[in-house]
Homo-oligomer: A and B are copies of this chain.
Amino acid sequence: MDKPMQLDAIDRKIIHELQRNARISITDLARRVGLSKTPVAARIKVLEDGGLIAGYRAMLSPIKLGLSHVTYVEVRLSDTREAALSRFNTAVRAVPEIEECYMIAGGFDYLLKVRTRNIAEYRRVMGDQISALPHVHATSSYVAMEAVVESAAVNL
């Protein structure tokens, strides 16, 4: 699961279309990329089996779900040895409100993106879940006021 795959122009067109609409039929897709259905179906299978296409997902509107509160949380750990980092990573993955988590260069900090229904729920998640993550030493919260670009497609 780590090396880039070799893609030609047609593969790129295919993933571009599938990123725009995961439910497009092979018939439609073949027409758009200028090939017949047979090779298009075969290429999709290669892309899926190779892990480049990791799945197909419905995009849900957070606002329509009432999940409009986004906060970024900077986390500093008290222990940054490998075992501690590993424990932290595992625990983070078990908190569903954490939509993203990256380890940041420079002092072994983490940046979390947390999505909740409102501030009250955010406080609860912060107090109950995030503060309780292993080895957390300090946190700083940055509240989002407006989503200018949200979960954009990957730039091909």
Residues of A within 8 A of B (CB): 1-5, 15, 18-23, 50-67, 70, 72, 89, 92-93, 96-106, 110-111, 115, 142-156
Contacts and interface: CB of A to CB of B under 8 A. Distances in A.
Q: Report how many copies the assembly holds.
A: 2
B65 A52 contact: yes
Q: Choose among A23, A61, A103 the residue with the greatest number of B CB atoms under 10 Å from its CB.
A: A61
Contacts of A70: 102
Q: Which 3 A-B pairs have the closest CB atoms?
A: A4-B66, A18-B58, A102-B144
Contacts of A57: 18-22, 56-59, 153
Contacts of A59: 53-57
B58 A53 contact: yes
Given A64-B4, A93-B148, A58 B19 contact: yes
Given A22-B56, A53-B58, A92-B149, A102 B72 contact: yes
Contacts of A103: 144-146, 148
A15 B58 contact: yes
B142 A104 contact: yes
A154 to B, nearest CB: 5
B155 A72 contact: no
B1 A148 contact: no
A140 to B, nearest CB: 11
Contacts of A154: 60, 62, 65, 67, 99, 115
Contacts of A3: 64
A145 B72 contact: no
